[in-house]
Amino acid sequence: MSTERIPFLKGHGTENDFVIVPDPGNTFDIPASLVARLCDRRAGLGGDGLLHVVRSAAHPEAAHMADAAEWFMDYRNSDGSIAEMCGNGVRVFARYLQRAGHVTTGDLAVATRAGVRLVHIAKDTDAGAGSGPVTVGMGRAELPDVEVAVSVGDRSWPAHNVGMGNPHAVVFVDDLDDAGRLLDAPGVRPSTAYPEGVNVEFVVDLGSRHVAMRVHERGSGETRSCGTGACAVMVAAARRDGADPSRLGHPVTYTVDVPGGRLVISERPDGGIEMSGPAVIVAEGTIDLAAFATTAELGATG
């Protein structure tokens, strides 16, 4: 280990918050135990996950995407587990790149474990620097033909099985309180449907193409927002409402309210999904590694 202090930033997208560790050369091997300590809200910096910012060419999982996207979002859940994708995380990731001077407003590509995602950073609003919304091309949804059900306590509901690069079970309920405290993972059947775990969204209708949701994210618990979850909710709601864009021949847009704010999700007739919402950097500093891990837990890799 070359240093006992490394830089960090803290950011959020609709209050889905992240510790950001800039590491363009992939110098640090950040183990799950350290990620969990950094994301701890009492003994660490606090976050729903960690964004490890690496140049694609420098990371073995992203090198094959380097020609399409200069930067790789090496995303970790708050328990340290690796995740394929995080929609709010991509927006915050892009905002960091803008703040650091690596990109400007306009279009860029970000490599993720779910593939390359196209991002558009809008110009600033009257609210000041870094205030323009960030729009992310989230790819296409998958609708696995597997019937699933979600339970909380002694109640159970049929769920919509939606893949957004990561798995989601979407449940429509009468009241968001039906989700219970959500600190414990809801039950999902059959147990074989999601061998690597699943994100569960509970959804209520607020109006025409306007819904609200709560989410339990695998590896993180209940969070204030989930970007891929909001996209999964939009897809499930559109299919339920008979508003499949591929059949209508025009884009369909839903407003999705999350506890931390509001996201706007659109699906095109070709299946492409776009998510638009805020992304904010709120703090910057250095991490004292001695306070979080032994030198054996964070080592230099290059």
62 Ramachandran zone, left/alpha/beta (phi>0; psi -120 to 50):
alpha
Number of independent structural domains in the chain: 2
Q: Is 227 annotated as a binding residue?
A: yes
Q: Is 87 annotated as a binding residue?
A: yes
Which amino acid, residue 172?
A: F
Q: Is 161 annotated as a binding residue?
A: no
User: How large is the greatest C-alpha to C-alpha distance in the chain, in angstroms?
Assistant: 58
Is residue 291 very low, low, confident or very high in pLDDT (cuts 50, 70, 90)?
confident
Which residue in this structure is represented by tokens 């999601």?
Answer: 194
151 burial class (0-12, 13-18, 19+ CB within 10 angstroms)? middle
Same domain, 161 and 114: no
- Residue 116 lies inside a defined structural domain of this protein: yes
- From 19, 11, 170, 198, select the one nearest 91 (Cα to Cα): 11
The arithmetic mean of pLDDT across residues 295-302, rounded, is 47
pLDDT at residue 182 is higher than 90: no
> Percentage of the chain surpassing pLDDT 70?
94
Tell how strand 106-112 and strand 252-258 pair up.
unpaired
Same domain, 15 and 128: yes
212 burial class (0-12, 13-18, 19+ CB within 10 angstroms)? middle
Q: Give the Cα separation of 169 and 262 in Å (integer).
A: 20
- For residue 9, give the H/E element and its range: strand 5-13
> Percentage of the chain surpassing pLDDT 90?
84
* Under 8 Å between Cβ of 193 and 148: yes
pLDDT in tens, 106-125: 999 999 999 999 999 998 87
Same domain, 35 and 120: yes
Q: Is 228 annotated as a binding residue?
A: yes
Is residue 295 very low, low, confident or very high in pLDDT (cuts 50, 70, 90)?
very low
The pLDDT value given to residue 1: 40
Which amino acid, residue 16?
A: N
pLDDT in tens, 243-270: 999 999 999 999 999 999 999 999 999 9
Q: Is 16 annotated as a binding residue?
A: yes
pLDDT in tens, 16-28: 999 999 999 999 8
Within 10 angstroms of residue 123's Cβ, the number of other Cβ atoms is 10
The token duo for 46 is 């606090």
Same domain, 103 and 196: no
The arithmetic mean of pLDDT across residues 270-283, rounded, is 96
Q: Is 166 annotated as a binding residue?
A: yes
Domain that holds residue 206: 148-275
pLDDT at residue 127 is higher than 80: no
pLDDT at residue 177 is higher than 70: yes
Where residue 270 sits, what CATH number does that domain have?
Answer: 3.10.310.10
Could you give the 3-state DSSP secondary structure of residue 47? Answer: coil
Same domain, 235 and 252: yes
Same domain, 158 and 123: no
Q: Mind telling me the catalytic residues?
A: 86, 226
pLDDT in tens, 30-57: 999 999 999 999 999 999 999 999 999 9
127 burial class (0-12, 13-18, 19+ CB within 10 angstroms)? exposed
Same domain, 76 and 112: yes
Could you give the 3-state DSSP secondary structure of residue 90? Answer: helix
